[in-house]
Chain A
Amino acid sequence: MSHGSLYFKVSESSRLFEGHFDGAPILPGVAHVALALSACANRAGRARTLTAVRDLRLKRPLRPGDEVEVVLTEDVDAVSVKFEIRRFGESVTVGRLQFDPAEETSRD
């Protein structure tokens, strides 16, 4: 199992905040998945095809300007990655992403 952390700032001007919600913008839950997926692609140096999400828990909202750490732990099966998004060390979101096995093994 390999581990790694990547750091992101949630841009105040991200269009993902538009209309979600007026006066009290928070990042949509699916954008947490996008952040984790981006971290996985960044670490792998290539795009990866997401086929499933398991045990995703959105514990706290992310707001404009938040700075986050995305911690990745590759599962032993090599096709899934556990992730945790943290803000100031506090857990925001945890979950497991599963990728296309055919695509993953063909790159070994």
Chain B
Amino acid sequence: MTDQVGACGPELLPHRGTARLLTEIVRWRRDFVEAIGEVSAAHPLASAEGAPSFLGLELGAQAAAALEALERSASTGDRAPTTGYLVRVHEATFLMPDLPIETPLYVTAQLEGAAPPLAIYRITIAVDGMEFVRARLSTYRST
């Protein structure tokens, strides 16, 4: 299932403006997504040095929510955005203190387990092949 690559349109996520970090789906299959995100210079947590690496947790959660929306769309045809909430970070490691702004951030989300509406994902964020963030987090899907 990799039929919906390309820009991450409004149908996947309810986030708007600078809150929307995910910009493009690179590829996806059942339980896995690879995508691209970007932090706008206008993001409220961004500064001249960059954005704090923990903002990558939000990008990872958005990738997970997009994957759930893609899987639901493929199975039921429902293209409504998925509202998911980050409810737990089991562990997260920040290998660099800051994420670059206005720069492609490569994010992956791999489903580890689910008991709907809860799901656990392992996420990574890299820039030019260098890993910046790795984490294991849980999301809660309300819609």
A residues adjacent to B (C-beta < 8 A): 14-16, 18-22, 28-31, 33-34, 37, 49-59, 61, 95
Contact = CB atoms under 8 A, between A and B. Distances in A.
Which 5 pairs between the two chains have the least Cβ-Cβ distance? A19-B16, A19-B19, A19-B17, A29-B86, A56-B89
B interface: dominant SS: mixed
Given A28-B58, A30-B55, A50-B54, A57 B18 contact: no
B87 A57 contact: yes
A29 B94 contact: no
Interface of B: 14-20, 44-45, 52-55, 57-58, 61, 83, 85-94, 97, 135
Contacts of A18: 16-19, 44
A30 B16 contact: no
Contacts of A95: 89
A55 B85 CA distance: 16
Contacts of A55: 89-91
A22 B93 contact: no
Contact of A30 (B17, B18, B58, B97): B58
Contact of A34 (B17, B20, B45): B45
A60 B135 CA distance: 21
Given A33-B54, A56-B89, A50 B19 contact: no
